[in-house]
Chain A
Amino acid sequence: MKNKIIDLHNITVAFDGEKVLDGIDLSIEDGQFVTLLGPSGCGKTTTLRIIGGFISPDSGDVFFDGKRINDLPAYKRQVSTIFQRYALFPHLNVYDNIAFGLRVQKVPKNEIAERVAEVIKMVNLSGFEKRKIDSLSGGQQQRVAIARAIVTRPKVLLLDEPLAALDLKLRKDMQVELKNIQRQLGITFIFVTHDQEEALSMSDVVVVMDGGKIQQIGTPEDIYNEPVNAFVADFIGESNIVDGIMIEDNLVKFAGQKIRCVDKGFGKNEPVDVVIRPEDIDVVSPNESPLSGLVTAVTFKGVHFEAIVDVDNFKWMIQTTDMIKEGQEIGLLLNPDDMHVMRKSEYSGMFGDYSSFSDEMDYISDPDYVEDEESEEVAEAEE
C-alpha cells in the first residue's frame, strides 16, 4: 500500500456560525490525481485551503506525510497552490514570478536559473521570460502560475479551479497538459472543480462533495456507474432517478413494473432509488416493452438524439441513435445491468425527473420559492 501523503480527520469548519465543512475524512495517497468535485458552496475550496494552510479547522486534524500540521503556517508547508485567478505578482516579470519561491527560500542563484529554465521549458513558455504579466493572455498566465507552483518542487500541488477562466478548447488542451505534468513530476495533485466532465477525464480518484460533506469517494468509473445516492447520480452525468421497491435480490419494482436487475443486498421490499442512465435505454416499439411513453421533446445532439419521454407523468431522458419524433409513442427496454439501485438518502426525490434540466429552472418559474434554508424547514414542518 502506498504512503498516505494527506490525511484529514473529522474536519469541521464554520464561517459566521454556518457549517462549511462537516466532518470531512479524507485520505490521499502519494502520487495520485485527486479531484474534489461539487457544486459551488459545497466546501471543496475550503477543503483545499485547509490543506494549503490558509484556513485552520475548528475541529479535526490535518496530517501531512504522517505529521500533524494543523498549526504549521502556509509558508512552511510543502504544498503549492495554483489559484483560480492565478494571483501572479503584477510587479514582476515571468522569470521573476517563477523564481519567487526559490528566492525566498534562498536557493543559490545558479540553481535558480537552472530550475526556472527547466520548468519554463516544461510549460512551453520559452522566450517569455522578460515579459510583463499584464501582457500575457489568460492561457499564458495559467502556464506561469503552473511553473511558479511546481518550481519549488512541492510534494502536493493544489489546484483551485485553474481552468475555469479558459475557453472550452484551451481547457481541453490544458487538461491533457496538466495530466502530463502530473505524470512527469509524479507528485500528488489535488484538483478542485465543479465540472464533472473535467473530474472524470483527469482523475485517479474523484471526491464528490455537497453541503460540506463528502458524498462519495471513488474512481471515475465507480462514481459514474455506482453512485451512492441521488445527488451523485444527478451531479455526474445525466440520470433518470425513479422511486422503486426492492422486491428481492435481483428484482426491483418501479413505474408499476417488476424488472430484473443485478443489484442485491437490500432488505425485502426496501424502498430504493433506481438510476437509469439515458444512454443505456433501448428504444423499441411500445408493445415490446412493459415501459412505454410519449416523446414530448427531441433534441439533435450530433452523436445522438436526446429525447424526453413522458411515462405516467414522470419525464425520462433517453439518448438514442434511432430516429424518433415528437408525439411518437415508444417503448423503453431495460437490460438488468442498465439499472443501478441505491438506498434512499436525504437527496431522494430531489433529482432525476426531466421536467427541466436544472433545479434552478424550477425555482425561477416558481413565485413561491424562496432561496432560504428557513423556508425549507418551514415547508418540511408543514408537511
Chain B
Amino acid sequence: MVKNKKSFFVGSPYYIWMIIFIVVPMLMVAYYSFTDIDGNFTLENIKNLSEYADTFVLSIFLGAVATLICLIIAYPLAFMISRSKASTQKMMIMLVMLPMWMNLLLRTYSWMTIIEDTGIINSLLSKIGIGPFHMINTAGAVVLGMVYNFLPYMILPLYSAMTKIDKNVLEAAEDLGANMFQRVFKVIFPLSVPGVVSGITMVFVPSVSTFYISQKLGGTGYTLIGDVIDTQFLNSGRNMGATLSLVLMVLILLCMLLMNQFASNEEEAMLV
C-alpha cells in the first residue's frame, strides 16, 4: 500500500494536469453542446447539424485523400531510410523534420505564393509560354497543403516501426525463395502495420480538423469543418461550435476504431 501511495504522490501533478486541461475542457465542450446561449438545456444545436453534413463529408474525404497520399509517399521513403547506414538515417530524419521547425502558418503562406494565379509557378511557366494554370482555391491545393504539412507525422512512425524489423528476417524470407514483391507483402508490410496505424492516425486527425490550410489554399469554396468551428466561435458564441467539435471528435473516434479493427484483423489474419 505504501508503494501505491508513493506512486500516487509522484503521479499527482500529472493527474491534476489531466483533470484541468483534458477532462474539464471535454466536459465543458459537452456542456456547451447541449445548452443555448443563456445556458438552458437544448437539442437545437444537434438539430442544426444537418446544415453542416456536406462540410463534414468534405472534411473527412479530403482528410482521407491526404492521408492516403501521405502513406503512399512515406512508405517507400521510410523503408529506404530504415535500411540505410546509421549516419544517412540521422541525416534523412533531420531533413524530414526540418520543415516542422518552421511555423505551420508560414509554410502554408509560402505555398500560397507558390501556387497563386500570379505565383511563382505560373510566372515561371508564363516565361516559357505555358499556362497560367489555376491551382489555388482548389481541392487539390487543400490536399497539397495537408500532405506537405503532415507528411513528417506519417514518415516518423513508419520509420520507427521499420527499424524494428530484423534484417535477418528479411534475409530469411529471401533465403526461403521470396522475391522482392513477396518480401514486401508477406514480411515487411505485416511487420510495419503498427507504424501504418499510428501514421494514419497522426495525419488523418489533424487533416480532418484543420482550418487554416483550407482557408488559405482552398479559399471560400472548400470550407472545412475546422473553418466552420472557427467562425462559429468567433461570431456566434460557443454553443454551435462546441457541438460541431463534439461530433467531429466522435466521427474521428469512429474512424480510428474502424481503422484499428481493420489493422488487428490484418494481424490476426496473418497469424492464423
Q: Which of B168, B182, B271 has a CB less than 8 Å from the CB of A91?
A: B271
Question: For residues 100 through 114 of chain A, which have their beta carbon under 8 Å from a beta carbon of chain B?
Answer: 100-101, 103-105
Main secondary structure on chain B at its contact with chain A?
helix
How long is the Cα–Cα vector from A148 to B172 in the complex, in angstroms? Answer: 10
Q: Given A87-B169, A90-B169, A91-B191, does the pair A74, B271 have CB atoms closer than 8 Å?
A: no
In the complex, residue of chain B having the shortest beta-carbon distance to the beta carbon of A132: B271
B243 to chain A, nearest CB (A): 43
Q: Which listed residue (B168, B174, B182, B270) contacts A74, Cβ 8 A?
A: B174
Residues from chain B with Cβ under 8 Å of A149 in the complex: 175-176
Complex interface: chain A residues within 8 A of B175 (CB): 52-53, 74-75, 79-81, 149
Of the candidates A83, A89, A132, which one forms a contact with B187 in the assembled complex, judged by CB atoms under 8 Å apart?
A: A89
Q: Let me know if B174 and A73 touch, CB within 8 A.
A: yes
Q: CB-defined interface of A63-101 with B at 8 Å, one 1/0 digit per residue?
A: 000000000011110011101110111111100100011
B13: interface (CB < 8 Å): no
**In the complex, are the beta carbons of B171 and A92 less than 8 A apart?**
no
Inter-chain contacts of B168 with A (CB < 8 A): 83-85, 87
B191 (CB) vs chain A CBs: closest residue? A91
Chain A residue at smallest Cβ distance from B179: A75
Q: Which residues of B contact A92 (CB under 8 A)?
A: 270-271
Residues on A with C-beta less than 8 A from B173 are 89, 100, 104
- Given A91-B191, A132-B271, A101–B174 Cβ distance below 8 Å? no
Q: Mark B119-163, 1 if CB is under 8 A from A, else 0.
A: 000000000000000000000000000000000000000000000
List the B side residues contacting A103 at CB < 8 Å: 186
Instruction: Please determine whether A152 and B177 come into contact, CB atoms closer than 8 angstroms.
Output: yes
B219 to chain A, nearest CB (A): 46
The answer to whether A54 has its CB under 8 Å from any CB of chain B is yes
Assembly CA distance A73 to B183 (angstroms): 14
A101 in contact with B191 (CB, 8 Å): no
A90-B194 Cα distance, complex, nearest whole Å: 13
Give the complex CA separation of A91 and B182 in angstroms: 15
Known: A75-B175, A104-B177. 16 other contacts (CB 8 A): A74-B171, A74-B174, A80-B175, A80-B176, A81-B171, A83-B168, A83-B171, A85-B168, A87-B171, A91-B270, A91-B271, A96-B271, A101-B177, A103-B186, A105-B177, A132-B271
Indicate the size class of the contact surface on chain B: 20 to 34
Closest B residue to A151 by beta carbon equals B176
Q: Which of B178, B270, B271 interacts with A104 by CB under 8 Å?
A: B178
* Measured CA separation A87–B171 after assembly (Å): 8
- Given A87-B166, A92-B271: A104 touches B176 (CB 8 Å cut-off): yes
Interface size class of A (residues with CB under 8 A): 20 to 34
Answer whether residue B267 sits at the interface, using C-beta atoms and an 8 A cutoff: yes
What residues on B are CB-neighbors of A152 within 8 Å?
176-177
Q: Provide the residues of chain A in CB contact with B178, threshold 8 Å.
A: 75, 100-101, 104
CB distance from A248 to the nearest CB of B (A): 55
Is there an interface contact between A75 and B172, defined as CB atoms closer than 8 Å? no
* Docked pose: A53 CA to B171 CA in angstroms: 10
Minimal beta-carbon separation of A80 from chain B (angstroms): 6
Q: How far is the CA of A53 from the CA of B177 in the complex (A)?
A: 12
What separation, in Å, do the CA atoms of A132 and B179 have in the docked complex?
25
Cβ of B41 to closest chain A Cβ, rounded Å: 51
Say whether, besides A54-B171, A74-B174, A83-B172, A91 and B267 are in contact (CB < 8 Å): yes
Cα distance, A88 to B173, chains bound together (Å): 9
Is there contact, CB below 8 Å, between B171 and A104?
A: no
Q: Give Cα distance in the complex from A80 to B178, angstroms.
A: 12
Q: Give the chain B neighbours of A93 by CB distance below 8 A.
A: 271-272
Q: Whole-angstrom distance between the alpha carbons of A289 and B73 in the complex?
A: 82
Q: Give B97 Cβ to nearest chain A Cβ, in Å.
A: 29
With both chains docked as a complex, state the minimum distance between the C-beta of B194 and any C-beta of chain A, in angstroms: 11
Interface centre among B174, B175, B270 (most CB of A within 10 A): B175
Cα(A93)–Cα(B175), bound, Å: 19
Set of chain A residues within 8 Å of B267, measured between Cβ atoms? 91
